[in-house]
Amino acid sequence: MKNRILSTIIRVCAAAFTAGALFMAPLPGLPAKEAQAYFDATLLVTKGEDEFITDEDRNVAYYWILDHMNTLSTLYDLSPDAAKRMNELWYEANCFIAETQLTVGQLVAYMNEVEANLTAAAGMNVPGANQFIFLTNDTRVPSGIYDQYTTVSLSVVNFGKTLLQDVIITPVVSTDPDKWPFKITSAQDTRKIYRLEPVKKIDEADKWSQTVNWNFLVSGDAKTGTYPLTFHVKYYRDGAIEETDLVTYANITGAPGNGSLSESAPDGKTSTPRIIVTGFSTDPAKVYAGDTFHLTINVQNTSATTAVNNIQFDLKAAKEGTGENTTYEAFLPTSGSATIFVSRIGAGQSADLNIEMTARSDLTQKPYVIDLDAAYEDDKNNPYTASTSVSIPVHQEARVDTGDAEILPSAVEVGGTVNVMYSIYNKGKTTLYNVQADFEGDSIEGGMTFVGKLDPGATGNVDAMLNAVAPTMDDGIVKAIVSFEDEAGNVTTIEKELTIFVYEPEYGEPDYGDWGDDMDMNEKKFPWGLLFGGILLIIAAGVVTGIIVGKRKKKKKAQAEQDALDDDIVDLDDDDDEDGGYDDV
């Protein structure tokens, strides 16, 4: 294995100059920054400063140099001399590392010296355009026939975070029929988009795009072939004007006898056979941060007559982070290499590029660009390069949690209300939309609460009033349901259980006193004993009253009789007095 790695590095030394064209074409659209990497011993398998490096360490150093050169080619507008010098340094460094016995400390020092030399060779740092405008997948490649009109449409989308205003799009025309296949009918043929809003939902980028159209008359001098069409774009962002270019293609059928773009020119050169990306797909179709996925990119050789050979495709994912030591690529190939080799693509034919990649787990939810650079040859070994890119939306799993609920009161009678309060935490890295809380239970109603939007790390509060409508017939479980939408409008719900008891209202009962042990108040029986006792009491009272009244009547009668007797005696005494003595008996 080690011998195979070493032999690979030596072969790379021999082939270093043939790859020089790869770094001659700058990659527009990325902001310039200092290209400092500082090779670190922790990257090596062997860590001790005085230990000798292994073949694995040499392999790490080789890939580190290659990555630094790719970074420089992105950040700097390389001149042919600069690109040549960089390839010379690459060749010297790889051969030196492959053939020299070095300690870890010596390798680290040498690698940092190589970095400084490569950065110096790259030349002056030039600012790149901050490109926020892209063509969507709806932008089709039109077909046109000589002396007939064809429509060229550009569907543009703003993948930035701020509004773009006064977007002016102008075709870059030429009088050379090999560069511009249409008749020039006006001095200026611009289109204007007054406002280009940033994409708010990743999966709905096409809905936020705006389309501009041109009706071009295909020139009678046009040749048969696929023409690259360049459109220059100017726009205002945050009050400052910025510029960039958009490139699309048109398949043109020229008049008989005009020839094709791929035919040999008078100087013996051929027109450039171009490789374009016609589409891509991922498996799974929806890529989440932290996922490993298979990326398939469909490429086509647009030349109708010329095949391309020895094609080297290099994929470079967008870099995230701001600091010198905190930048990283959004996607990392699982195999360790982001280079794909295709031996040949015939004229007009297509090929699929397959690679397995892993999305970093800390990516935010947005599209990430992968640049695709191609270096290839035609059948006459003429070298060519091409650059394009694809944009892969990355999603974040929603992570939502709820705090402990405060329930006041936890038991309530029918007709009462219960106050339920708890918090909702957005622990993920994606924004939650239309967050709301609701409640389900047989004994309660109401309580629906709208929380709204929750940014990553934000907290929403639920303060709901529930109505008690029926007594609890089970264990008192009430479901609190939280629902929310992601950026694509997909609804997710989570549930938590609350315990709330609802009981029947109780009314006060009369105090029946000591009615006997047989009186069961819980059963609420009629007080028959009290009734009978009352009746007996009334009868007894009547009897006593009758006796008293009777005695009084008898006494009164006896008194009357006594009074009458006394009267009779008095009368007798009076008669005796009148007679002067007593009568003889």
pLDDT for 74 equals 63
pLDDT bucket at 311, cuts 50 / 70 / 90: very high
pLDDT for 419 equals 93
Average pLDDT over residues 295-307: 86
Domain stop point among 122, 143, 177: 122
Greatest mean pLDDT among 159-163, 333-337, 422-426, 528-532: 422-426
Which residues contact residue 125 at a Cβ distance below 8 angstroms, ignoring those fewer than 6 apart?
Answer: 32, 34, 75, 76
Average pLDDT over residues 360-370: 83
Q: Is the pLDDT of residue 277 over 80?
A: yes
Residue recorded with tokens 């040949």: 344
Q: Do 472 and 413 touch, CB atoms closer than 8 A?
A: no
pLDDT bucket at 6, cuts 50 / 70 / 90: very low
pLDDT for 150 equals 93
Average pLDDT over residues 137-166: 86
Q: Is the pLDDT of residue 130 over 50?
A: no
User: How many domains in the chain?
Assistant: 3
Q: Does a structural domain hold residue 565?
A: no
Greatest mean pLDDT among 194-203, 242-251, 520-529, 573-582: 242-251
Q: Do 405 and 283 sit in the same domain of this protein? A: no
Domain stop point among 395, 421, 450: 395
Domain stop point among 503, 526, 543: 503
d(CA 446, CA 437): 11
d(CA 73, CA 101): 30
Is pTM beyond 0.85 here?
no
Structure tokens at 432: 């939650």
Q: Do 282 and 407 sit in the same domain of this protein? A: no
Q: Do 417 and 378 sit in the same domain of this protein? A: no
Q: Do 186 and 76 sit in the same domain of this protein? A: no
Biggest CA pair distance of the chain: 204
Q: Do 318 and 188 sit in the same domain of this protein? A: yes
Average pLDDT over residues 195-207: 76
Q: Is the pLDDT of residue 237 over 50?
A: yes
Q: Do 247 and 353 sit in the same domain of this protein? A: yes
Distances (CA, A) of 519 to 510, 514, 524, 526, 528: 13, 9, 8, 9, 9
d(CA 389, CA 247): 12
Q: Do 176 and 277 sit in the same domain of this protein? A: yes
pLDDT for 519 equals 47
Q: Does a structural domain hold residue 574?
A: no
Question: pLDDT of 425-479, one tens digit each?
Answer: 998 878 888 999 999 988 888 889 999 989 888 999 999 998 988 898 888 889 9
Q: Is the pLDDT of residue 23 over 90?
A: no
Say which range, 233-247, 301-315, 504-518, has the weakest mean pLDDT: 504-518
Residue with the bigger pLDDT between 265 and 137: it is 137
Q: Does a structural domain hold residue 17?
A: yes
pLDDT for 310 equals 92
Q: Does a structural domain hold residue 405?
A: yes
Q: Does a structural domain hold residue 79?
A: yes
Say which range, 78-87, 188-197, 238-247, has the weakest mean pLDDT: 78-87
d(CA 23, CA 121): 12
Say which range, 3-17, 87-101, 171-185, 229-243, has the weakest mean pLDDT: 3-17
Q: Which residues pair with 446 in a beta bridge?
A: none
Q: Is the pLDDT of residue 151 over 90?
A: yes
* Beta-sheet strands, E only, within 346-490: 350-359, 366-377, 383-395, 400-402, 406-408, 411-413, 417-426, 432-440, 444-445, 449-454, 459-468, 477-485
pLDDT for 568 equals 56
Q: Does a structural domain hold residue 552?
A: no
Amino acid at 237: R
Q: Do 476 and 446 sit in the same domain of this protein? A: yes
Q: Does a structural domain hold residue 326?
A: yes
% pLDDT > 70, the chain: 72
pLDDT for 9 equals 46
Residue with the bigger pLDDT between 565 and 242: it is 242
Residue recorded with tokens 């000591």: 514
Residue with the bigger pLDDT between 284 and 514: it is 284
Q: Do 65 and 94 touch, CB atoms closer than 8 A?
A: yes
Say which range, 365-369, 441-445, 473-477, 539-543, has the weakest mean pLDDT: 539-543
Q: Is the pLDDT of residue 149 over 90?
A: yes
d(CA 425, CA 416): 30
CB environment 95-127: b (16+ within 10 A), e (fewer): bebbeeebebeebbebbeebbebbbebbbeeee
Q: Do 146 and 258 sit in the same domain of this protein? A: yes
Q: Do 62 and 156 sit in the same domain of this protein? A: no
How many CB atoms within 10 Å of residue 150? 18
Average pLDDT over residues 182-201: 85
Residue with the bigger pLDDT between 513 and 344: it is 344
Question: pLDDT of 492-532, one tens digit each?
Answer: 898 988 988 988 887 655 555 554 444 444 444 555 555 65
Average pLDDT over residues 278-301: 89
pLDDT for 394 equals 86
Q: Do 160 and 198 touch, CB atoms closer than 8 A?
A: yes
d(CA 393, CA 387): 20
Say which range, 86-90, 104-108, 506-510, has the weakest mean pLDDT: 506-510
Query: Which of 393, 405, 400 lies closest to 457 in space, CA to CA?
Result: 400
Cis peptide before 31 (omega within 30 of 0): no
Domain of residue 322 covers: 133-263+272-395
Distances (CA, A) of 75 to 34, 78, 123, 386, 518: 8, 9, 11, 17, 102
Say which range, 16-30, 185-199, 568-582, has the weakest mean pLDDT: 16-30
Q: Do 432 and 400 touch, CB atoms closer than 8 A?
A: yes
CATH, residue 491: 2.60.40.10
Q: Do 447 and 366 sit in the same domain of this protein? A: no
pLDDT for 5 equals 44
Q: Do 240 and 99 sit in the same domain of this protein? A: no
d(CA 461, CA 403): 10
Q: Is the pLDDT of residue 364 over 60?
A: yes
pLDDT for 375 equals 92
Q: Does a structural domain hold residue 537?
A: no
pLDDT for 296 equals 92
